[in-house]
Structure 1
Amino acid sequence: MGQSKSVFSQEELEEYQDLTYFSKAEIVHAFERFQALDPDHVRQNRHASIRLATVLAHFPEIRVNPFGERICKLFSSDGEGNLTFEDFLDMMSVFSENADKDVKTEWAFMIYDFNNDNVIDRSDLTTLLSKLCGAESRAPPEEQISEETMKEVIDKIISEGDLDDDGMLSYPEFEHAILKSPDFFGTFRIRM
């Protein structure tokens, strides 16, 4: 651990601390987790970008998350899922226990807005459910939900969350729904 502390100056640690929900010790620990993803590459250049495939292969919390690839792509500077330490630190900060609910809600909305049109529509909900418990999930075929059940669930989500009856969830509608689900914030995290 002592070796990693020397990687950053006090000034850099203070800047990272100001920009995240982490203490200096947690930042050093985050760097150790980042470096463990591709030790040789990061040892040669601490500003290295780690490829998406490497992150997915060596970071269990992301690998098992049905939205892992999407999360990496949203947090990566290059938009392809390749992560620099700063990208990784931002991601870990948003998913930390100390991150503010508004920040978590904003990022959840972006993660679930698969078609990037600033609303969560039927297409987004279909993708979300497919990744959680449908054809794109890791569930055995007999445990996956049917197309009919998926449509029913989507109809229910829209009918309960769509306050202006336009057939989709805007950010304020999504936020309203999430705030009624306090357990969401406990599950929207990655432990360091």
Structure 2
Amino acid sequence: MQRGFKKMKKSIQKITETSTSVQPHCVFVENMQDDEKQPLYILPERLSSLMYQTGFSKDEIRRLYRAFKQYCPRGAITTNDLKPAYAKLFPLGDSGKYAQIVFNAFDKDRNGIISFGDLLNEIALIINGDIDQKLSWIFRFYDLNGDGYITRKEMLVVISAIYEMLHNGQIIQRIVNRHVDKVFEKMDIDKDGVISQEEFMNSCKNV
């Protein structure tokens, strides 16, 4: 379970290796889910405010903003932006399904776009959050429908996507099933067929 999270964290850290300065102006984006294609203007938050909210340094925010503008010049991330980025990071496999899962985890309001502020806040939790914040984020990542429980089907979807991304699309279903079985054997304490957030966090802390 931690493997996919570490891969995602590593990919985020790669993005921060580029550098530039934050430009204090409005950027224009098009809401791709709006049937009428109405324009949407997003004003990037002030640098000092972002530093306070996320715990990132001025230089780290500038690097992330440079990468954000490079990949998303319209001012927001869509799945069409994220999937090619993951394809470059993991060229040997098919990262499309995993990229979609990552996008859904960041797109909390389900409007089909991720602003720079949204992105930065989520990255801050992944990299700078305390243990409870990080574990809560990982739990939500696997809880695909957001009902507060991880089902076997949800975990199979995520683990299968990880194997597709890392192993050239060749999923060995028996290995995936065994992986999920081991996780549920350890974390499903009350054996009700689902993993609650409390079970998840307690199990991770007791490793």
TM-score by length of structure 1 reads 0.71
RMSD between aligned alpha carbons? 3.1
Partners of 1:107 and 1:75 lie apart in 2 by 10
Contact 2:76 2:114 in 1 (8 A): yes
> Partner residue of 1:34?
68
| Selected match of 1:154 from 161, 180, 186 | 180
Contact 2:98 2:165 in 1 (8 A): no
Deviations along 1:28-84, one digit per CA (max 9) or x if unpaired, are 222111111134x3xxxxxx3232211322365599586322222222255255221
> Partner residue of 2:172?
145
Partners of 2:186 and 2:194 lie apart in 1 by 11
User: Which structure 1 segments of 5+ residues have no match?
Assistant: 42-47, 182-192
| Selected match of 2:158 from 115, 124, 128 | 128
1:7 aligns with 2:24: yes
Distance 1:177 1:7, change over 3 A: same
Distance 1:61 1:178, change over 3 A: farther
> Partner residue of 1:49?
76
Q: How does 1:37-186 map to 2 (within 5 A)?
A: 37-39=71-73, 41=74, 48-58=75-85, 60=88, 67-76=98-107, 78-96=109-127, 98-133=128-163, 136-137=164-165, 139-140=167-168, 144-146=171-173, 148-181=174-207
Give, as a single letter, the amino acid of the residue that structure 1 aligns with 2:204: I
TM-score by length of structure 2 reads 0.66
User: Which structure 2 segments of 5+ residues have no match?
Assistant: 1-17, 26-44
Is the strand fraction higher in 1 or 2? 2
Partners of 1:178 and 1:62 lie apart in 2 by 27
Q: Kindly state the Cα deviation for residue 117 of structure 1 after the two structures are TM-superposed.
A: 2.1
Query: How much identity, in percent, do the aligned residues show?
Result: 25
Corresponding residue SS for 1:90 = helix
Contact 1:74 1:81 in 2 (8 A): no
